[in-house]
Chain A
Amino acid sequence: MDNKEFEKLLLSVQKPGRYAGGELNSIIKDKEKVDVRFAFCFPDTYEIGMSHLGMKILYSLFNEREDIWCERVFNPWIDFQEVMRENNIPLFALESRDPIKDFDFIGFTLQYELSYTNVLNMLDLAGVPLRSADRKDLSPIVVAGGPCACNPEPMADFIDLFFLGEGEEVDLEVIDLYKKIKAEGGDKQVFLRAAAQIEGVYVPSLYDVEYYVDGTIKSITPKDGAPAVVNKRIMRDMDKSFYPETFVVPTTEIVHDRAVQEIYRGCIRGCRFCQAGFIYRPVREKSVDTILSQAKSLCDTTGYDEISLSSLSTSDYRQIQTLLSRMIEWSEKDKVSISLPSLRIDNFSTELLEKIQYIRKSGLTFAPEAGTQRLRDVINKNVTEEEILRTCLTAFEGGYTSVKLYFMIGLPTETDEDIVGIAELGQKIVNSFYSMPNKPKYKSVNVSISVSTFVPKPFTPFQYEPQITVDEIRRKHDLLRNSIKTKKISLSYHDSSTSFLEGIFSRGDRNLCKAIEEAYLNGCKFDGWNECFSLERWMETFEKCGINTAFYANREREYEEILPWDHLNYGVTKRFLTRENLKAHGEATTPNCREQCAGCGANCYGEGVCFEKR
């Protein structure tokens, strides 16, 4: 289709800037001069995908190589999908506007389970068969990575190979292998078998899964020489690890429109519900010098006037004070503001507060996660009520009049007392504001409580736990709402039915593949979007496919049960996770990695926090 015709169609839909391409720093290459074309697909809208750091890292990394051209692809919104179908426009990459079905690789990043139907939606729009088995040719190879790849089984029938862990090295190794096999005239099977030999690559078609009559797994058997256990990959030295010098700067508005500087990977904390806290182990920090030079380069080359420090828990960076002091020296002069997401309650100091105030006065957000000390011990949050109140008071004394608190409901062992405890904690925080002798006159306080539903995730100590039912979620929402007695507390919560769907997929097995396919064909897409999500449509699909949703979401697993992801190794051992689960039920906490090693197994990588000098 010629450009004029294409642009005419663009002008007929909402936010055409999403599809226009040509943004600052986007990379155009001569397609005749590259060997491998890679379509990096984010299975959600442009605004969400463009905010994602992982994509920026890999986009730059791939494009550093002269022989690879990596382009970006997002899922077009419903209105443009219709226009594309009416006009026979197959899904295209933003840079070249070429159809991605002709690319060598179509790569997806799986950030959340609710984007699974969008993966199928994008393959379908591209004109590529959904199932791996129906794609016989060497190209396009459909690959996927990201956190959801740690239990890739619900997507096993669609994706040719998964990257486990961090992609900076393994992705390129796979691309190189592809080049070699292509040059030798090898076919897809030859390529997949060879790729399975690369550490960090999981080829689901090379594993046979057998089930017992009750639906649990009997065995997972590798074939054609594939390894019995697939290990995740990590970057061992974060100072030597690739980081982009620049980002593509979107012209239209996106969700997180700022420079992002990663400061470390992993988390020392071991909160038992948190998947990221386990699958990214061990903690590996960047040095202050590395961070400063990368951050400066990013701001200089993008023109961004805001930079966010990214990690799972910013205040756990050992040299946070030094880093901020040195960063402010430069950011002040260049009029760049620094934002610090992911602050913890227990080590949020007055000094840190002063620095943040100096930088930008935005809202303060903390995550106590549970309403009572007993439950916080169960989830290993390691935050006391005293610390929470002290931190809020520090913030109030520093001039803040609102705080936002994140909680979860449906946590293992939770009782109604724990739910009421959320409201009580909120009340105590409100009271602490009014207890200040020098509280600001004529100013009110606002404690905003945001509640999400706990979804048990693979590779966490709670991977064995049942998720509470949708009815129970709603009952607990009502209980909490009725327990709040003041208008100074505002309450918001997530939709219960999407959490339920997330719970089915997160610990699902290969039997879900047919349901995901059926649901997509039945019209499910953009399941993370309220305006598109339909629980009824999903329930119909599950029924039609003979899927017992309670088996996946609401069933308690035995420690001995073979879980669908047991043949994948993310460093943390199942023995450790079981031990932690037992401790949780005994309401016993585990110290963080820097206090005392808990023997999770992640020291097998020979790097990071496990070997820090103390």
Chain B
Amino acid sequence: MRNVRVFFTKHGRMKFASHLDMNRLMTRIIRRSGVPIWYTEGFNQHPYITFALPLSLGFTSDYEIMDIRVIDDEFTNEQVKAALEKVFPDGLVVTAVENMVLKTGEVAFAEFAITFKEGEKDFAERLNAFLSQESILTEKKTKKGKMKEIDMAPCIKRFSISKRFSAEEGESVVLNLVLSAGGENNLNPTLLLAAFGETPYYTVCRKMIYDSAMECFK
């Protein structure tokens, strides 16, 4: 028996699948795939699946991680990949299947590409000024349900802002943002941007997940 890490992307209509939906969906996909997977013990047995870092509803992602436990050691990672490819629905694409290296608790950062539809002229500059502040305070609900003031600035590892023009979409501002992720200091880009105030409509794509050394999470 070994832990196997499935890397996949999530786009299109699948962006409307919440984290709970993904759990349910993957359980069924894996059952259909025929991959010999470990089931939890207990009365209602179900396939053991964990996700490294839940993705907010509405976000797309180029780097999603799901861990499963394969019980048949002769069933290779290539076979797992082929079996999953057959049953993944539109919008989900398996990119790699590898043996697990890092524990999910070692997730430290996540990188996002946030695309804003054309805004006011100085939007990019104002955004830049906002993110460059030494401290960005906001209120966040703790797990106990109380409101607590936190400073988001230390959670911003790095960011860059660029302008893009395409014939299809017209002008847009793209914010590339690396934020603390996982565990205690997880910061959702939506929370950060809510503190900025009114923004043009934006879409979020998670580009990468890193460990504490900013190495790609494997």
Q: A residues within 8 Å of B by Cβ?
A: 4, 7-8, 10-11, 16-17, 20-24, 249, 251-253, 257, 300-305, 335, 337, 360-361
Say yes or no: A253 contacts B20, CB within 8 Å. yes
Instruction: Say whether B21 contacts A253, CB under 8 Å.
Output: yes
B89 interfacial by beta-carbon distance below 8 Å: yes
Let me know if A17 and B31 touch, CB within 8 A.
Answer: no
Q: Restricting to B1-44, which residues have a CB under 8 Å from any CB of A?
A: 12-18, 20-21, 24-25, 27-32, 39, 43-44
How far apart are B115's CB and chain A's nearest CB, in angstroms? 10
- The reply to whether A16 and B31 form a contact with Cβ atoms under 8 Å apart is no
Cα(A253)–Cα(B27), bound, Å: 13
The answer for the CA separation of A249 and B27 in the assembled complex, in Å, is: 12
- 8 CB-based A-B contacts, threshold 8 Å: A22-B90, A251-B21, A252-B16, A252-B17, A252-B21, A300-B32, A337-B44, A360-B44
Tell whether B201 is near chain A: CB-to-CB under 8 Å. Answer: yes
A22-B89 contact in complex given A300-B32, A303-B29, C-beta closer than 8 Å: yes
Flag if B32 contacts A22 (CB, 8 Å): no
Complex contacts, B21 vs chain A, CB 8 Å:
17, 251-253
| A23 engages B89 (CB within 8 Å) | yes
User: Contact check: which of B17, B32, B43, B45 meets A17 at CB < 8 Å?
Assistant: B17
- Choose among A7, A304, A361 the residue that contacts B28 (Cβ–Cβ < 8 A): A304
* Interface size bracket, B side: 20 to 34
Which residues of chain A come closer than 8 Å to B14, judged between CB atoms?
Answer: 22, 251
- Which residue, of B13, B44, B45, has the highest number of chain A Cβ atoms within 10 A? B13
Query: What is the minimal beta-carbon distance from B190 to any residue of chain A, in angstroms?
Result: 11
> A303 to B15, Cβ gap below 8 A?
no
Binary flags per residue of B51-74, CB closer than 8 Å to A gives 1, else 0: 000000110000000000000000
19 new A-B contacts, CB < 8 A, other than A302-B32, A335-B39, are A4-B169, A7-B16, A11-B58, A16-B58, A17-B16, A17-B21, A20-B16, A22-B91, A249-B28, A251-B14, A252-B17, A253-B21, A301-B32, A303-B30, A303-B32, A305-B27, A305-B28, A335-B46, A360-B43
Within the complex, the shortest CB–CB distance from A76 to chain B, in Å, comes to: 14
Picked from B13, B20, B28, B32, the residue with its CB within 8 Å of the CB of A20 is B13
Leading 9 A-B pairs by shortest Cβ distance: A303-B28, A22-B13, A20-B16, A303-B31, A303-B32, A16-B16, A11-B58, A17-B16, A251-B17
Complex: A608 Cα to B87 Cα, angstroms: 40
Q: How far is the CA of A20 from the CA of B57 in the complex (A)?
A: 12
Give CA–CA (A17, B89) in the complex, Å. 15
- Which single residue of chain B is at the shortest CB-CB distance from A336? B31
**CB-nearest residue of chain B relative to A252?**
B21
A533 to chain B, nearest CB (A): 29
* Distance from A176 Cβ to chain B, minimum over Cβ atoms (Å): 31
- How far is the CB of A165 from the nearest CB of chain B, in Å? 34
Judge whether A361 and B43 touch: CB under 8 Å: yes
Q: A328: shortest Cβ distance to chain B, in Å?
A: 15
> Given the complex of chains A and B, what is the CA–CA distance between A251 and B21 in angstroms?
6
Report Cα–Cα, A23/B21, bound state, in Å: 11
CA–CA, A168 to B91, complex, Å?
33
Tell me the chain B residues, 114-153 only, with Cβ under 8 Å from chain A.
none
Residues in A whose Cβ lies below 8 Å from that of B30 = 303
Contacts of B58 in A (CB 8 A): 11, 16
Give bound CA distance, A4 to B15, whole Å.
12
- Which B residue sits closest to A335, measured CB to CB? B45
Contact status A251-B16, CB under 8 Å: yes
Task: Name B91's closest neighbour in chain A (CB-CB).
Answer: A22
CB-defined interface of B199-212 with A at 8 Å, one 1/0 digit per residue?
00101000000000
Measured CA separation A21–B12 after assembly (Å): 10
